[in-house]
Amino acid sequence: MTSDAHSSPQGEPSAEDHGTASTDALAGRLGGLARQLEATDDPSTMLDELVAAAVAIIPGVEHASLSMVQRRREVRSDYPSSELPARVDAIQNEVGEGPCLDAIYEEQTVRVPDMLHEPRWPRFAKRAHDAGAGSMLSFQLYVQDDNLGSLNLYNTRANGFDDESEQVGLLFASHAAVAYADSKKISSMGRALASRDLIGQAKGMLMERYHLDADRAFGVLTRVSQATHRPLREIAEELATTGRLTALEPDRGGGE
């Protein structure tokens, strides 16, 4: 009688059962994270929760951060869980090389088993090790055509990450990319709404002060913006916050 490759002693779960249970548990945690992030309206809170979840969910992670790239090569550390990620990103900025930059520009996943003996970035690796990074994992955060940055995971020991860390990290990074993109949209919408409110306040002040209708008041703001080469939002903010608009003061006698 032949035995099944996945059989186990009676009453004991097989390795396959353990794997299925582990996968189901991970799916449940990632699903819970997605619901939690979806219910969060504040972008800063959303990303703080995302980084905290990376530390809690991905095996081997002691510290985490999100990195964004500015001006093509400058890495900005966003929402680090501790000082370690911020220090390491600062080193990458200074030397112009490192796993976060490679993850963002060249590869989907960058794994650093032992920072002290890492040959790929000689100017970066020793200083990162001295700053406390023993091993690292970086995942590109990518949504459609937007290369957003990277999710960076740290362990203070060498070989702190294994294949499971990388597999779970890849799944997590796909959720993180969507959440990060959503947070950017929320921030942009918030700025747009704030600009609209400021312009509305400024229009109202001009309408009351100079007895203008809404179109003419908006025309005053746009002409001042064009004449002074300043953004319309900035013109509106000056009037709304100070009650004055310097560009109009010489003409106050005649009005609009």
pTM: 0.62
Provide mean pLDDT across the span 93-99: 90
19-184 maps to which CATH number?
3.30.450.40
190-251 maps to which CATH number?
1.10.10.10
Which of 149, 85, 136 minimizes the C-alpha distance to 110? 136
- Contact status, residue 199 vs residue 236, Cβ threshold 8 Å: yes
Q: Return the domain boundaries, the chain.
A: 19-184, 190-251
Which of 208, 116, 210, 202 minimizes the C-alpha distance to 159? 116
Q: How confident is the model at residue 85 (pLDDT cuts 50, 70, 90)?
A: very high
Beta bridge mates, 140: 150
C-alpha distances (whole Å) from 149 to each of 41, 105, 106, 168, 209 are 21, 9, 11, 18, 48
Structure tokens at 234: 């900035």
Q: What pLDDT digit, counting tens, does each position of 163-193 carry? A: 999 999 998 888 777 776 766 665 555 556 6
**Residue 210 scores a pLDDT above 80:** yes
**Residue 118 scores a pLDDT above 60:** yes
pLDDT of residue 169: 93
Looking at the chain, the whole-number percentage of residues with pLDDT higher than 70 is 69
